[in-house]
Structure 1
Amino acid sequence: MSQTPSTASSSSNFQTIFYASMKEYKKKTKKDLLEHPLMAQLQTCNSPADILAVLHTQVQQFEQSTSGDDKLTKWLIPTVNVLYAFSGALGEGVGLVFSPAKVIFAGAGVLLLAAKDVAASQDVLVDIFERIESFFRRLEEYSEVPTTEAMKDTIVKIMVEVLGIFGIATKEMKQGRTKIQRDI
């Protein structure tokens, strides 16, 4: 199936934006998400339920190293569902060799791994993930409407920003910083 010039140019633009975002993430965290073992697991996922199973394992590993409650799990469902729908709206992989949503989920998993060894990190992670959950709950309705080119551009920007948040949080966790500013 051939792409129209507009579609081909959008896919190229999306590709440029995502690769730049992943490069920035790697610079902050020293982790290449495409090479991370978690990404290999996520690449085999074909549904939100599959992704939830992989991420739930990451959350359980984190919670075993902390207090053991499941405050972190409630962010999973709306976040996975909306990002998965957005990825589908962009076209699986938007011309890339990976799904943008799966890269973001890998970033969430890497953040959980980084936080596992940081004392007092659970409250910070719960706060970050609650804010992301709240944001994606507000976006759920947009995942059910036909997607325009302008909306695709916005979706890409949202996904890039979420990956950026995970990159910054991972960097801070690795440096032992667990304080977050409440006016975000």
Structure 2
Amino acid sequence: MSSAHQPPPSSSNFQSILNAALKEYKKKTGKELTTHPLFAELQNCRSPDSILAVLQEQARIFDGSRGGNERLMMWLTPTVNILYSFSATLGEGVGLVFSPAKVIFAGIGVLLMAAKGVGSSQDALLSLFERIENFFKRLQAYTEVPPTAAMTHIIVKIMAEVLSILAIATKRLNRN
């Protein structure tokens, strides 16, 4: 059967992709994101500003210096806005148990927590964060069109891959 005749991806497929990403995250980091206190706090956030406030608190932990925090917020603000737009694009109709964007926000927060006191890694992390931001900026156009099932599937897969990148970075920080 050709791919043109296959049924569109279902919400259970999206949930499977997200669950696999969370399982891989736990395997790499030893942390269960969906039961982490930071995830619970982010679940209650209803706007990009409220998410930024939670992550900004972790940013202060990341780097007590004002300059480092400003550089971090330069990438964090657009990244949160774009990911939040992805969540809105996915909408409630997708039927996911929890928002993939909020899972990524929690992964970012946990990574920031792991970076506490690891000053030598901060420049590398900021570089990674800036690359993630640039990647999401290129994808922002997809938040401005009505989503198709195939597009939603791709967005969920992209978010799963970003979560994998965050897991690898967190694992490396925990080792060092």
Question: Do both share a fold (TM > 0.5)?
Answer: yes
Aligned amino acid, residue 73 of structure 1: M
CA distance in 1, matches of 2:85, 2:47: 10
Aligned amino acid, residue 88 of structure 2: G
Aligned amino acid, residue 64 of structure 1: G
Structure 1 SS opposite 2:71: coil
Q: State the partner residue of 2:24.
A: 24
Moved more, 35-44 or 95-104: 95-104
Q: State the partner residue of 1:40.
A: 40
Higher RCO (CA 8 Å, separation ≥ 6 residues): 2
Conserved 8 A contact 1:104-1:162: yes
Note the 1:1-184 alignment, pairs <5 A: 10-64=10-64, 68-92=68-92, 94-176=94-176
Unaligned segments of structure 1, at least 5 residues: 1-5, 177-184
Moved more, 105-114 or 66-75: 66-75
Post-superposition offset of 1:117: 2.9
Q: Which has the higher helix share?
A: 2
The percentage of aligned residue pairs carrying the same residue is 62
Unaligned segments of structure 2, at least 5 residues: 1-6
Conserved 8 A contact 2:33-2:107: yes
Q: State the partner residue of 1:182.
A: none
TM score, norm. by length of structure 2: 0.89
Q: How many residues align?
A: 170
Per-residue CA distance 1:79-103 (angstroms, 9 max, x = gap): 1111111122222483233211101
Supply the RMSD in Å over aligned alpha carbons.
1.9
Structure 2 SS opposite 1:158: helix
